[in-house]
Amino acid sequence: MSSERFQKGMDKLKELTIADPNSPTGHMEIGESFKDIAPDLTRLVVEFAFGDIYARPGLDNKQKVLATISALVAQGTPQIGMHVVTGLNVGLSADEIAACLVHLIPYVGFPRVLTAMQVAQEVFAEQGVAITFNPDADES
């Protein structure tokens, strides 16, 4: 019986999300929309990705989200938006998320970063957050 791991995963999910009165898991896609193709996907995501991995000690939540975003930018994966929201929820600033994307340019190239920036830009607008620093202005 895996209910302990499921509970551990759900606790981590609540910690990562801002409570949404209509949903027990806030903004996170945890497989509910795939019930008809993989009925156990919610359980697998909550137990493994959140219970086993996200709840594992060793890194704080801000580090975990930065690592996740960086890996998805490198993959060119479309699901990055959800993780940008999580980043803001756990205390990463818009400045840190934006700086992370720019930092990856030498490693993954401009195209992958521009794709990610477009998604982050939309999330920032939806969430009403904005960057506050300007590297070029700071230099002058």
- Nearest-angstrom CA–CA distance, 18 and 32: 18
Is the separation of the CB atoms in 98 and 120 below 8 Å? yes
In the region spanning residues 14 to 33, those forming contacts with a second copy, defined by CB under 8 A, are: 29, 31
SS3 content of the chain, % helix, strand, coil (to 5): 65, 0, 30
Is the separation of the CB atoms in 54 and 67 below 8 Å? no
- Nearest-angstrom CA–CA distance, 29 and 137: 38
108 touches a second copy by CB under 8 A: yes
**CB nearer to a second copy: pick between 21 and 37:** 37
In the region spanning residues 52 to 81, those forming contacts with a second copy, defined by CB under 8 A, are: 52-54, 56-59, 63-64, 66-79
**Size of residue set near a second copy by CB under 8 A:** 73
**CB nearer to a second copy: pick between 21 and 140:** 140
Of 9-17, 19-27, 94-102, which part binds a second copy (CB under 8 A)? 94-102
Among 18, 19, 102, 126, binds a second copy (CB under 8 A): 102
130 touches a second copy by CB under 8 A: yes
From 12, 11, 45, select the one nearest 31 (Cα to Cα).
45
